[in-house]
Structure 1
Amino acid sequence: MTTSFPATVNTTRHRFLFPALATLLIIGWSSGFVGIRYASEEASVAVLLFWRTLLSGIILLPFALAFGPKMQLRAVVSQMGFGVMAVFIYLGGFALAIEQHVPTGLVALMSDLVPLVIAAMSQPLLGERLTGRQWVGTAVAVGGVLIVSFDSLSFGTAPLWAYGVTIGSMIVFALASVLRSGRGSLNMPVHQSLCIHSLTGAALFGIWGLAAGGLEPPITREFAIGMAWLVLIATFAAYSVYYTMLRLFPVAKVSAAIYLSPPVTMLWAWMLFSEPLTPAMFLGLAVTLAGVWLTSKS
């Protein structure tokens, strides 16, 4: 079955739309590092993710109820299922892996291999056949990610199941992205779907946090700054642009932009925290850019 995408972009009229949206996506996606850096030392993973998703959902709720079509129960249930996969399992899985001392560099590398799994899933599930050039571009982009991440890779001392959680979370998010692109019931306005996803995640993270000891947030400047960053940029900007792009472009093309997240994250770290940049990082960025260009070029 071949899936047709509404407004799959006319390259003559919309040649700048994909680069513009991809730029916003990369900035929002990679900026999650900043919020985590500010807030993670102040609270547990469950508390951090509970307040991130709860605040996001509460802010969006009035707009979701007042603007857009009336939300039908069936559509809401479908969106809740996607929220479990793309918010609770994906964010919670990686956060739990880090909490269990899986090295952050290894977690980031596995997270940013999502586009490779999406590319593999999109043909059998959606009928989106990648060309030979796109597979070459995917391989080049993976190579760039490996170059950027090489210095930070280690296996650490985490339990074996924590590594399985890392891989499983990545696969679940890839599957959720493919299923979202192929199901009309998930094509409600972005502010409504993101509200449902956030509140679903908040309910599940709340249960996790209560079981772990409580949900009281720390009243500190660092936690407040990190939470504002996570809600406004890493959630509203990143997820809204991602969901919008999934409605406009083939899912494998959209996900290719995520390969640029590791090098851009390192630029964030350099600008905000004075973390060093190495020649390998710039080489990896150039290689990744070439791979993304090959994969997304019409």
Structure 2
Amino acid sequence: MALALSAPNTPQSPALFPALAGLLVIGWSSGFVGIRYTNEQASVALLLFWRTLLSGLIMLPFALAIGPRLKLGAVASQMGFGVMAVFIYLGGFALAIEQRVPTGLVALIADLVPLAIAAMSQPLLGERLSRRQWLGTAIAVSGVLIVSFDSLSFGAAPLWAYGVTIGAMLVFAWASVLRRGRESLNMPVHQSLCIHSLTGAVLFGACALAQGGLAPPLTREFAIGMAWLVLIATFAAYSVYYTMLRLFPVAKVSAAIYLSPPVTMLWAWALFSEPLTAAMFSGLAVTLLGVWLTVRN
């Protein structure tokens, strides 16, 4: 849906893009950091249940009152995408953070979705990639491997947790490729995001019940974490993201999102004392080079 948007040919202040990009990077990276912060108070299933439930309920009146009438078939299609986009994708990297995979690495892998979509488009949709794009994808993946192998030396997370992050990213990319051309998935953002959130709430709620219950911790830290995740990581981040898609080219907006992993690494270092190493920044630089080769033009 985002790829269908185009930037208008209207004059813009030179300071507009840097200002919005800064807000986007802060909002986008705050999602990873917010999960890491709130996970100190509750399990991943419980915190994601409350995050998606609150987000969905806040958007529900607007989804019902504004936009086209919601039909059962369209809602069912959005629910199916919500399983992959929220429950598997969001739940996958949240689980990895819970297992203490470095937060910056999780952000780096999660933000490689556009590269995975480009790689899957050729076999699934017949969209041919250039040699430069394949080279860029390979370089970006090698950068992720550099960061991954360096973080393995910390010894805090099991090996399977790294695989969960990669698997969740690939599932979301696969779902994004399959949704192309499906009219039932083309609806206003506030409606689709509401359906995705409530679908995730049902599934995360079932997981939280199996682990003990749905009652939230009555602590100030949990309340702060929820406000952080709902208001900043969900509403603010997506609002800025879709505003930028209407004002600037898609590739330019994507380039801003790729700045979120280093910001996430800095947040995690400052707030949770997660280590920063030269190899992590080297791998990040290699990944950004690969991303640039893939998305330019």
AA partner of residue 57 (structure 2): I
Q: Deviations over 1:115-158 (max 9, x none)?
A: 44322212233343322222223233334434445432257674
User: What is residue 93 of structure 1 aligned with on the other side?
Assistant: 92
Structure 2 portions without partners, runs of 5+: none
User: What is residue 219 of structure 2 aligned with on the other side?
Assistant: 220
Q: Deviations over 1:65-109 (max 9, x none)?
A: 12111112211111111111110122223334555x474467556
User: What is residue 32 of structure 2 aligned with on the other side?
Assistant: 33
Alpha-carbon offset, residue 234 of structure 1: 2.0
Q: In structure 2, what is the Cα distance between the partners aligned to 1:281 and 1:244?
A: 32
Alpha-carbon offset, residue 290 of structure 1: 3.0
User: What is residue 77 of structure 1 aligned with on the other side?
Assistant: 76
Q: Deviations over 1:154-188 (max 9, x none)?
A: 5767486x665444322211112222343222121
Alignment of 1:1-298 (within 5 A): 6-7=4-5, 25-99=24-98, 101=99, 103-104=101-102, 110-154=109-153, 158=158, 165-239=164-238, 259-272=258-271, 277-298=276-297
Alpha-carbon offset, residue 241 of structure 1: 6.0
Asked if the contact 1:35/1:225 (under 8 Å) is kept, the reply is no
Alpha-carbon offset, residue 55 of structure 1: 0.6
Mean Cα displacement is larger for which, 101-110 or 83-92?
A: 101-110
AA partner of residue 266 (structure 2): L
Q: In structure 1, what is the Cα distance between the partners aligned to 2:106 and 2:282?
A: 21
Q: In structure 2, what is the Cα distance between the partners aligned to 1:18 and 1:174?
A: 27
Q: Evaluate the alpha carbon distance shift between residue 92 and residue 275 of structure 1 in structure 2; reply closer, same or farther with a 3 A threshold.
A: closer
Name the SS for the 1:60 alignment partner: helix
Q: In structure 2, what is the Cα distance between the partners aligned to 1:163 and 1:91?
A: 14
Q: In structure 1, what is the Cα distance between the partners aligned to 2:11 and 2:125?
A: 26
Name the SS for the 1:219 alignment partner: coil
Aligned residues: percent identity? Answer: 78
Name the SS for the 1:68 alignment partner: coil
Alpha-carbon offset, residue 258 of structure 1: 5.5
AA partner of residue 51 (structure 2): R
Q: In structure 2, what is the Cα distance between the partners aligned to 1:145 and 1:293?
A: 15
Aligned residues: 294
Q: Evaluate the alpha carbon distance shift between residue 273 and residue 159 of structure 1 in structure 2; reply closer, same or farther with a 3 A threshold.
A: closer
Q: In structure 1, what is the Cα distance between the partners aligned to 2:287 and 2:53?
A: 35
Name the SS for the 2:127 alignment partner: coil
Q: Evaluate the alpha carbon distance shift between residue 255 and residue 118 of structure 1 in structure 2; reply closer, same or farther with a 3 A threshold.
A: farther
Q: TM-score when scaled to structure 1?
A: 0.78
Q: In structure 1, what is the Cα distance between the partners aligned to 2:25 and 2:97?
A: 22
Asked if the contact 2:6/2:248 (under 8 Å) is kept, the reply is yes
AA partner of residue 46 (structure 1): A
AA partner of residue 63 (structure 2): A
Q: TM-score when scaled to structure 2?
A: 0.79
Q: Deviations over 1:32-72 (max 9, x none)?
A: 22212321010111110100000100111111112111112
Q: Evaluate the alpha carbon distance shift between residue 128 and residue 18 of structure 1 in structure 2; reply closer, same or farther with a 3 A threshold.
A: farther
Name the SS for the 2:179 alignment partner: helix
Q: In structure 1, what is the Cα distance between the partners aligned to 2:125 and 2:256?
A: 19
* Aligned-pair Cα RMSD in Å: 3.9
Name the SS for the 2:199 alignment partner: helix
Q: In structure 2, what is the Cα distance between the partners aligned to 1:277 and 1:190?
A: 36
Structure 1 portions without partners, runs of 5+: none
AA partner of residue 63 (structure 1): F
Q: Evaluate the alpha carbon distance shift between residue 297 and residue 167 of structure 1 in structure 2; reply closer, same or farther with a 3 A threshold.
A: closer
